[in-house]
């Protein structure tokens, strides 16, 4: 059977002008837009981002799919059963389906599961990933905090799966990004304060969206609870640039990697 192409399209962190040209082209030409949302009544963030750019397109279907914000496998399985059925019916008719995801489709995104299952469900199907501007690029941009320089190391943590090992992570990495904060902010704050890193931590919600909020005194973020689009960035380094420090002779040849 010849299936329609399945696209996973990253639509960026919030600001519609951070959609890539490729994302816009793909979204405009797909016959079906699959738009995830967290409840049957809630808005789809992906649709909110792309709507001002692509608007209504004649003949294009918008398929809203509900994926509850839950770790309960039963609830998730039920949601996925509907999503696979709805998407599958369209792919089997040869229609192209663009599944739009906030940020980048390869980082903590609903699309990852769809991508993994696609070939088993629809053998031989073409799956195309269109990368997007991730929140891990947007948050450094709006805060002015670079992610990493030279030999620095970065950790990315899904905080809602626990932060018991945060002290070890903070010790081992120069920059730590805490995503999916959920109800973990008090625990994150406690660990950060214990390590003496409160001054080096910034809380950001909804980066690049109209209601973006940046809390530079992170102790003031102790009451933050449940914003689906919030992260904290801990940046330990005081960067003076590579020219300020001593560089071992073996490293001198590789410091300018052209990146
Ligand atoms: C399910 S993950 C999706 C990540 C997305 N695929 C990406 O590339 O950014 C959702 C988490 O990403 C982070 N996030 C997404 N958009 C954000 C934004 N605009 N500002 C701050 N954090 C954001 C938050 O930590 C949120 O809990």
**pLDDT tens column, 48-77:** 999 999 999 999 999 999 998 888 888 899
CA dist 196 and 58 (Å) reads 56
Q: Is the pLDDT of residue 225 over 80?
A: no
Q: Which atom in ligand 1 lies closest to the alpha carbon of residue 13?
A: 19
Which pLDDT band holds residue 248 (cuts at 50, 70, 90)? Answer: low
Over 70: is that where the pLDDT of 186 sits? yes
Nearest-CA residue for ligand 1 atom 2 is 108
Query: Residue of the nearest CA to atom 11 in ligand 1?
Result: 180
Please state the rounded mean pLDDT for residues 166-175.
Answer: 96
Whether the pLDDT of residue 255 is over 50: the answer is no
pLDDT of 198 higher than 80: yes
Residue pair 4/93 in contact by the 8 Å Cβ criterion: yes
Q: Domain extents for the chain?
A: 6-130, 135-239
Could you tell me which CATH number the domain at 135-239 has? 3.30.950.10
The pLDDT of residue 116 is 95
Predicted TM-score (pTM) of this structure = 0.91
Q: Name the CA radius of gyration of the chain, rounded.
A: 21
Residue 227 Cα distances to 60, 159, 182, 217, angstroms = 32, 13, 6, 18
Best CATH choice for the domain 6-130 from the list 3.40.1010.10, 3.40.190.10, 3.90.1300.10, 3.60.15.10: 3.40.1010.10
Q: What is residue 256's predicted lDDT score, i.e. its pLDDT?
A: 52
Give the closest residue (by CA) to ligand 1 atom 7: 103
Name residues contacting ligand 1 (CB within 6 A).
13-14, 101-104, 107-109, 134-135, 138-139, 179-180, 204-209, 228-231
**138 Cα to the center of ligand 1, angstroms:** 9
CA 120 to chain centre: 26
pLDDT in tens, 40-55: 888 899 999 999 999 9
Percent of the chain with pLDDT over 70: 92
Q: Which residue of 160, 226, 231, 232 sits with most ligand 1 atoms within 8 Å of its CB, as the best mutation to test the pocket?
A: 231
Residue 254 has pLDDT above 60, yes or no: no
Report the alpha-carbon distance of residue 240 to residue 233 in Å, rounded: 19
Minimum mean pLDDT range among 18-32, 189-203, 242-256: 242-256
Using pLDDT thresholds of 50, 70 and 90, give the confidence band for residue 249.
very low
Ligand 1: which of 15, 179, 188, 207 to mutate, judged by most atoms within 8 Å of the beta carbon? 179
Instruction: Catalogue the E-assigned strands of the chain.
Output: 6-10, 32-37, 61-66, 97-101, 127-130, 154-158, 175-179, 201-205, 213-215, 230-235
């Amino acid at each position: 059977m010849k299936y329609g192409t399945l696209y996973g399209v990253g639509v960026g962190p919030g600001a519609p002008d951070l959609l890539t040209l490729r994302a816009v082209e793909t979204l405009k030409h797909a016959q079906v837009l699959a738009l995830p949302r967290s409840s049957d009544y809630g808005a789809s963030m992906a649709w909110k981002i792309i709507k001002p750019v692509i608007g209504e397109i004649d003949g294009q279907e918008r398929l809203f799919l509900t994926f509850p914000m839950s770790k309960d496998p039963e609830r998730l399985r039920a949601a996925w059963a509907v999503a696979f059925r709805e998407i599958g019916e369209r792919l089997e008719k040869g229609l192209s389906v663009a599944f739009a995801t906030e940020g980048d489709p390869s980082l903590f995104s609903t699309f990852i599961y769809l991508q993994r299952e696609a070939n088993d469900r629809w053998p031989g199907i073409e799956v195309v990933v269109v990368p997007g501007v991730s929140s891990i690029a947007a948050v450094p941009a709006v805060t002015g905090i670079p992610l990493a320089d030279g030999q620095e190391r970065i950790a990315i943590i899904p905080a809602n799966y626990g932060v018991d090992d945060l002290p070890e992570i903070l010790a081992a990495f120069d920059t730590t990004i805490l995503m999916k904060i959920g109800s973990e902010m008090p625990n994150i704050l406690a660990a950060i304060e214990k390590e003496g890193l409160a001054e080096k931590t910034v809380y950001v919600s909804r980066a690049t969206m109209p209601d973006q909020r940046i809390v530079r005194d992170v102790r003031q973020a102790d009451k933050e609870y449940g914003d689906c689009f919030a992260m904290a960035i801990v940046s330990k380094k005081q960067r003076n640039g590579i020219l300020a420090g001593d560089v071992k002779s073996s490293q001198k040849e590789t410091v300018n990697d052209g990146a």
